[in-house]
Structure 1
Amino acid sequence: MGRLKQQLLEVPSSGWKQSRVACHRGRMLPGVDIPDRGARFRMRGAVEGDLLDIARLDGEVFPATPYPFFVLRQLFAMGCVPLVVEDGERICAYVLSSGQDGARCWILALAVAPDARARGLGRGLMRETLYELRRRGVREVLLSVEPANSAAIALYRSLGFTCDEALRRDYFGPGEDRLIMRSRL
């Protein structure tokens, strides 16, 4: 991912108190307040020091199949730099895509902490990731999703992903079925 400028601005947003936004190549990335905690979200590119927090979040969101820390570390070393959202205290969401060179890319993970859901964080991360991938010349993005995860499937469909394959049984091992979704950028 391109590096996010660390500049933060105060701007009004519809229905929310003042929100912070990060500026990325002249585009505004909206932040939102968490009403019950008074925190604000900020989107930025991950740094190596974030990997333990990303692994913790991955284990919280995907307890049966989290990425081991060493896999996240190796992906980071290979150029798969996550885009994260923090709330001032912790990383509460992230998206990880495969290397951005070439015409095809995979979304490897999208995770939002349970207490930070329904605030547009996953959508914001995906939109920014798709924008950056398109800018880098990627023309097709794929991802896998658990068939029972109707919220994720609805999000991906709303972002232009389609499911043009049958259910892939045992895709991640016995009993780990997945749908493969794709989007042409």
Structure 2
Amino acid sequence: MPRFLPLTPALALLLVFLAGPIAYCVLIAFTDLQLTGQAQESFVGLDNFRRAFRDDAFLNAVWLTLVFTVASALVGQNTLGLALAALMQRASKPVRTLTGGVVVTAWVLPEVVAGFLLYAFFRREGTLNAVLDWLHLPSQNWLFTLPILAVSFANVWRGTAFSMLVYSAALNEIPKEITEAAEVDG
């Protein structure tokens, strides 16, 4: 027990602020408690879940969440982050510095500034439509016609830097002998 004594405060905080709210959410998921200040609650079993999975709005929200997760986090951030990290391994010092600076700048911008920049990019009179008009391609109001695309792009833009930094650190840890052996093997 003395070995785990230093962990006791952290474990207590995790139980209070993480496990406690999760357990409470699981408990109230099976009741008819409402956020409007209802005084009494009663156990309703799986009725909440049955109603949710029959609701088209809920199923649409689940679908959009899956699309957002796959498009922005799995495909966008990870793929682009790995590609940038791999390209930066082979690039010259000025190119690495410029690319790293541009990508990390998107990551450290305050949320309000990033939100305004992306709004200016996607709005009807925005930068994206100006480029599409210049290329003689059809433009549209992206924030209303394809909002999941705009939100996914924003998340990729904001999160790629973290993926790039993680992958760069991992690629830097690969011994030179392994890289040289792979080049010799083709």
- Whether TM-score is above 0.5 comes out as no
TM-score by length of 2: 0.21
More strand by share: 1
Structure (1 or 2) with the larger CA radius of gyration: 2
Q: Which has the higher contact order (CA 8 A, sep 6+)?
A: 2
TM-score by length of 1: 0.21
More helix by share: 2
